[in-house]
Amino acid sequence: MPRIGVLALQGDFREHAISLRDAGAVSISFVKNPQDLQTIDALLIPGGESTAMSKLAKAFEVLEPIRDLIAKGMPVYGSCAGMIMLASKLVDGNSDQETFGGLDITVRRNAFGRQVDSFEAQLHAPEIADGEFNAVFIRAPWVEDFSSDVEVLARIESGQHKGAVVAVKQGNVIASSFHPELTNDLRFHKYFIKLVNQPQSLERL
Ligand code: GLN
């Protein structure tokens, strides 16, 4: 049974672990130190504050090891700050802010501006599941640019920011600007568990 690690340096890692459990993941562990990485087959990077997460990843010496695991094909899901941590390029990042990479995307931090620091939007992500998603955005980033290897999973569908890319997939890496772990909608976590369990992911074990 593959074990999913939840990066527990900072942010809402507990909520994600609960969502993973409720979505059917059997083996879940928190990741903080390099040795915690030895027992995981996939990683979830929570929302929080990416500048702090980046600093803590360096301090706890997991930045390089996680980078390597993602580059080798480990399945990963990042939400909000987690999406920022997976980006190859940042707009409005701190000058010394490092990421794990994994997605050939340019992410703009705090993209929706202060006046709408937090909001909810209804959107569709047909690759994940049918029907509407109630997406919760909290000082959220968006994907400003992406390579042809990146699949768009969801966009903002109406209003001022219509068309903004807010969920993407590239190989075994998925990311959302919003926070499914703050709702009781488990479809994103179930999709991630399916990705972890697919034969291509399990070949790595
Ligand atoms: N604005 C935060 C950052 O830059 C992300 C917010 C979140 O994860 N809810 O890291």
Q: Domain ranges for the chain, please list them.
A: 3-202
Q: Measured in angstroms, how far is the CA atom of residue 123 from the centroid of ligand 1? A: 20
Mean pLDDT of the chain: 95
Q: Measured in angstroms, how far is the CA atom of residue 102 from the centroid of ligand 1? A: 18
Amino acid 205: pLDDT: 56
Global confidence as pTM: 0.96
Q: Measured in angstroms, how far is the CA atom of residue 179 from the centroid of ligand 1? A: 11
Question: Given ligand 1 and candidates 110, 116, 178, 181, which is best to mutate, with the most ligand atoms within 8 Å of its CB?
Answer: 110
Cβ atoms of residues 12 and 178 within 8 Å: no
The tens digit of pLDDT for each residue in 74-132 reads 999 999 999 999 999 999 999 999 999 999 999 999 999 876 679 999 999 999 999 99
Token reading at 145: 């640019």
Question: Cα angle at 172 between 171 and 174, to 5 degrees?
Answer: 95
Cβ atoms of residues 149 and 120 within 8 Å: no
Kindly indicate the confidence band of residue 38, based on its pLDDT and cuts at 50, 70 and 90.
Answer: very high
144 an active-site residue?
Answer: no
Question: Given ligand 1 and candidates 84, 97, 143, 178, which is best to mutate, with the most ligand atoms within 8 Å of its CB?
Answer: 84
CATH hierarchy code of domain 3-202: 3.40.50.880
The tens digit of pLDDT for each residue in 117-159 reads 799 999 999 999 999 999 999 999 999 999 999 999 999 999 9
For 78-125, the DSSP string reads: EETHHHHHHEEEEES--TT------EEEEEETTTT-GGGSEEEEEEEE
